[in-house]
Amino acid sequence: MKLNGSEIIVECLKEQNVDTIFGYPGGAILNVYDALYKHSDEITHILTSHEQGASHAADGYARATGKVGVCFATSGPGATNLVTGIATAYMDSIPVVAITCNVTVPLLGKDSFQEIDIAGVTMPITKHNFIVKDVTKLADVIRAAFRIAKEGRPGPVLIDVTKDVTAAECDYIKETPKAIERQTDTIKEEDVERAVEMIKASKRPYVFVGGGVIASDASDELARFVKKIDAPVADSLMGKGAFDGTDPHYTGMLGMHGTKTSNFGVSECDLLIAIGARFSDRVTGNANKFAKNAKILHFDIDAAEINKNIHSDASVVGDALEILKRVNAKLEQQDRHEWLEHIHDYEKQYPMAYRKDCLNGPLIMEKIYELTKGEAIISTDVGQHQMWAAQHYKYKKPRTLLTSGGLGTMGYGLGAAIGAKVGCKDKTVINIAGDGCFRMNMNEVATATRYNIPVIEIIFNNHVLGMVRQWQDLFYGKRYSATVLDDCVDFVKVSEGMGAKGYRVQTIEEFEAALKDAMALNIPCVIDCLIDREDKVFPMVSPGAAISEAFDRKDLDRMNSEK
> Catalytic: which of 38, 42, 113, 425?
113
Cis ω before 106 (30° cut-off from 0): no
Q: Please determine, for residue 89, whether its predicted confidence score (pLDDT) is greater than 90.
A: yes
Does the pLDDT of residue 134 top 80, yes or no? yes
Residues comprising the chain, all counted: 563
Catalytic one of 91, 410, 467, 498: 467
- Judge whether 384 counts as a catalytic residue: no
Is 361 a residue whose pLDDT tops 90? yes
Interacting residues of 138 by C-beta distance below 8 A, sequence separation 6+: 5, 8, 9, 12, 132, 161, 165, 170
Contact in structure between 90 and 156 (CB atoms under 8 Å): yes
Residue 181 per-residue DSSP state: P
Average pLDDT, the chain: 97
CA distance 21 to 39: 12
CB-hemisphere CA count at 13 Å for 151?
Answer: 15
Q: pTM value?
A: 0.97
> Longest C-alpha distance within the chain, in Å?
80
Phi, psi of 560 (to 5 degrees): -65, -35
Instruction: Point out the catalytic residue in the list 7, 16, 22, 51.
Output: 51
Query: Which of 248, 185, 245, 180 has the alpha carbon at shortest distance from 215?
Result: 180
Angle at the Cα of 215 (from 128 to 383), degrees rounded to 5? Answer: 90
How confident is the model at residue 558, as a pLDDT? 87
In contact, 211 and 239? CB cutoff 8 Å: yes
**Quick one: pLDDT at residue 563?**
66
CATH number of 361-538: 3.40.50.970
pLDDT one-digit tens code per residue, 377-390: 999 999 999 999 99
- Are 5 and 167 in contact, with CB atoms under 8 Å apart? yes
Over range 200-205, report the average pLDDT: 98
pLDDT mean over 387-397: 98
Amino acid found at 517:
D
Kindly tell me if the per-residue pLDDT of 559 is higher than 90: no
Domain boundary assignment for the chain? 2-171, 189-349, 361-538
What is the pLDDT at residue 557?
87
Average pLDDT over residues 114-137: 98
**Mean pLDDT for the stretch of residues 466-483:** 97
The CATH code of the domain at 189-349 is 3.40.50.1220
Q: What is the mean pLDDT of residues 119-130?
A: 98
Which pLDDT does position 528 carry in this prediction? 98
Supply the pLDDT for residue 353: 87
What's the pLDDT tens digit per position in 409-440? Answer: 999 999 999 999 999 999 999 999 999 999 99
Percent of the chain exceeding pLDDT 70 equals 100
204: number of Cβ within 10 Å: 20
- Range 2-171 has CATH code 3.40.50.920: no
467 catalytic? Reply is yes
Least confident of 177-181, 454-458, 558-562: 558-562
Active-site hit among 7, 52, 130, 163: 163
Mean pLDDT value across residues 528-534: 97
Summarize the confidence of residues 480-504 as an average pLDDT. 97
52 carries an active-site annotation: no
CATH topology identical between 189-349 and 361-538: yes
Instruction: Determine whether 51 is an active site residue.
Output: yes
Of 14, 15, 67, 114, the active-site residue reads 114
- Closest by CA to 415, choosing from 4, 23, 16, is 23
**Active-site residue, 113 included:** yes
Query: Do residues 258 and 234 touch, judged by C-beta distance below 8 A?
Result: yes
H or E segment and range at residue 195: helix 189-201
Rg (Cα) of the chain, in Å, rounded?
Answer: 24
On the question of pLDDT at 343 being above 80, the answer is yes
Could you tell me whether strands 169-171 and 2-4 are parallel, antiparallel, or unpaired per DSSP bridges? antiparallel
